[in-house]
């Protein structure tokens, strides 16, 4: 067993496919398969089951993946230290973020890294809050940006922004003329919401239960573009900060109606992985995120 085999194991687990991983890391699929076979022989067990769409982790693979990630990260840190800590920061940083943060932050961060820190590579994953927090817990991402909707602080996290969520719908929707919508009125509105587990969907379900009604959820979707397409095609509404759909609201395709009684406040948090000490590159990316969030709050 060597570190290359463990690195390949981690990459295949992340991508769910030998072919996709081989294309990404630039090796022949046959060579990658031989590495994995040698690793499985060395540990005396199977790490993946093959499926029609790729591979999935076996029970042994699920147990060993966090340790493999930690060993790969430690090896990378050791290599960086052995090179004498180059004067120019370098390395790869994996960032998981919710869609609104992806739109407003990641492009700006990529530009700043290119201009000021060309040795740092950014690997950005987009998902809803539940997915992003799972990635953080498993060590798949070093920095996570996610949303919460309940009051109080989140342990080991920094608040980046706070905003109200609103009812988002087509301009020709029957509710579009309302100046505001009470939570209780959501019972009358067919909705498209993020797929669970999702903190906003959980909060909305809890509010509905406390007011003795059920939400009319017609579809749960796994991405913001899919929710937008469903809304435009079917007339369903969704619930979100208006910034997520700022372009569509500006173009007149959609509109946003404030939700009241009660208002629902979204807080966006940033957490850095505790699986191992953050690299210099991760610290730089986290600092850039703080700076950009502060500028946005100040309206600059």
Domain assignment of residue 71, given as a range? 1-82
Mind listing the pLDDT tens digit for each residue in 118-166? 999 999 998 888 889 999 999 999 999 999 987 778 888 999 989 999 9
Report d(CA 195, CA 220) in Å as an integer: 4
Residue recorded with tokens 């609103």 = 166
- CATH number assigned to the domain comprising residue 112: 3.40.190.10
**Burial level of 121, CB count in 10 A (0-12/13-18/19+)?**
middle
- Look at residue 159 and tell me if it is in a domain: no
> Is residue 138 domain-shared with residue 279, that is, in the same domain?
yes
7: pLDDT strictly greater than 60: yes
- 97-101, 153-157, 191-195, 231-235: lowest mean pLDDT where? 97-101
- Look at residue 149 and tell me if it is in a domain: no
- CATH number assigned to the domain comprising residue 6: 1.10.10.10
Cα-based distances in Å from 134 to 129, 138, 141? 9, 6, 9
How many structural domains does the chain have? 3
- Look at residue 148 and tell me if it is in a domain: no
- Look at residue 157 and tell me if it is in a domain: no
Identify which of 8, 262, 276 has the alpha carbon closest to the alpha carbon of residue 151: 262
> Is residue 186 domain-shared with residue 115, that is, in the same domain?
no
Report d(CA 116, CA 37) in Å as an integer: 42
Mind listing the pLDDT tens digit for each residue in 31-74? 989 999 999 999 899 999 988 888 999 999 999 999 899 888 88
- Look at residue 101 and tell me if it is in a domain: yes
- Look at residue 19 and tell me if it is in a domain: yes
């Amino acid at each position: 067993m060597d570190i290359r085999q463990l690195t390949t194991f981690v990459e295949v687990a992340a991508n769910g496919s030998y072919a996709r991983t081989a294309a990404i890391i630039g090796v022949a699929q046959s060579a990658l398969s031989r590495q994995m076979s040698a690793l499985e022989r060395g540990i005396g067990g199977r790490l993946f089951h093959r499926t029609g769409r790729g591979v999935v982790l076996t029970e042994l693979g699920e147990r060993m993946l966090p340790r493999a990630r930690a060993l790969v990260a430690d090896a990378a840190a050791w290599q960086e230290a052995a090179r004498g800590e180059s004067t120019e920061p370098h390395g790869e940083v994996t960032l998981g973020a919710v869609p609104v943060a992806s739109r407003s932050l990641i492009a700006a961060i990529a530009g700043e890294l290119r201009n000021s820190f060309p040795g740092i590579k950014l690997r950005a994953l987009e998902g809803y809050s539940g997915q992003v927090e799972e990635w953080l817990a498993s060590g798949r991402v070093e920095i996570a940006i996610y949303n919460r909707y309940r009051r109080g602080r989140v342990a080991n996290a920094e608040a980046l922004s706070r905003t109200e969520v609103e009812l988002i719908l087509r301009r020709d929707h029957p509710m579009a003329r309302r100046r505001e919508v009470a939570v209780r009125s959501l019972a009358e509105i067919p909705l498209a919401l993020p797929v669970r587990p999702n903190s906003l969907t959980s909060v909305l379900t809890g509010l509905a239960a406390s007011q003795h009604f059920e939400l009319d959820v017609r579809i749960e979707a796994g991405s913001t573009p899919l929710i937008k397409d469903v809304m435009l095609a079917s007339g369903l509404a969704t619930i979100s900060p208006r910034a997520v759909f700022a372009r569509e609201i500006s173009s007149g395709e959609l509109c946003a109606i404030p939700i009241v009684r009660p208002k629902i406040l979204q807080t966006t948090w940033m957490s850095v992985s505790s699986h191992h000490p953050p690299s210099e590159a991760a610290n730089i990316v986290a600092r850039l995120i703080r700076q950009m969030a502060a500028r946005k709050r100040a309206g600059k």
